[in-house]
Amino acid sequence: MNRKTVSGIMLTLLLLGMFILAFNIQSIKAEPRTWTVDDDRVECPDADFTSIQQAINAAGSGDTIYVYNGTYYERVKIDKHLNLVGADKGTTIIDANGANEAIYVHSDAKKVVISGFTIKKSLQGILLLNDFSTVSGNIVTNNLNGIVMRSSNGHIISDNKIVSNGQDGIYMRGSHDNKFYNNIIDNNGRCGIWSGSSFNNVFAVNILSNNRYGIWSGSSFKNNIFYHNNFIENTKQVRMYEPQYANIWDDGYPSGGNYLSDYTTRYPSVGDEYHGENQDILGSDGIWDSPYVIDVNNQDNYPLVKPWPIIPVSVDLSPDTLNLRSEGTWITAYIQLPVGYNPEDTDATTILLNETIQPVLDPKYGFVTNSSEYLIDHNEDGILERMVRFDKAEVMALLSVGEATLTITGEVNSTPFEGTDTIRVRGK
pLDDT, one tens digit per residue, over 21-40 is: 444 544 445 689 999 999 99
Cα atoms found within 13 Å of the Cα of residue 30, Cβ hemisphere only: 6
Q: Is the pLDDT of residue 6 over 70?
A: no
311-426 has the same fold as 34-300 = no
Least confident of 40-44, 171-175, 410-414: 410-414
Quick one: fold of 311-426? Immunoglobulin-like (2.60.40)
Strands 402-412 and 415-426 turn out to be antiparallel
Rounded CA-CA distance 116/408 in Å is: 33
Those residues whose C-beta lies under 8 Å from the C-beta of residue 142, and which sit 6 or more positions away, are 120, 121, 164, 165, 166
Task: Answer yes or no: are the C-beta atoms of 238 and 295 closer than 8 Å.
Answer: no
Average pLDDT over residues 57-61: 97
For residue 176, what are the CA distances in angstroms to 143, 223, 231? 24, 10, 22
Q: What percentage of the chain exceeds 90 in pLDDT?
A: 76
Task: Answer yes or no: are the C-beta atoms of 400 and 428 closer than 8 Å.
Answer: no
Q: What is the pLDDT of residues 322-368, one digit of tens each?
A: 886 767 789 999 999 887 788 999 999 999 999 999 999 999 999 99
DSSP for 286-331, please give it.
SB-SS-EEEETTEEESS-BSS-S--EE-EEEEESSEEETT---SEE
CATH number of 34-300: 2.160.20.10
Strands 161-163 and 139-141 turn out to be parallel
Q: Is the pLDDT of residue 415 over 50?
A: yes
Q: Where are the domains of the chain?
A: 1-31, 34-300, 311-426
pTM: 0.76
CB atoms within 10 A of CB 309: 13
Count of residues making up the chain: 428
pLDDT tier at 13, thresholds 50, 70, 90: very low
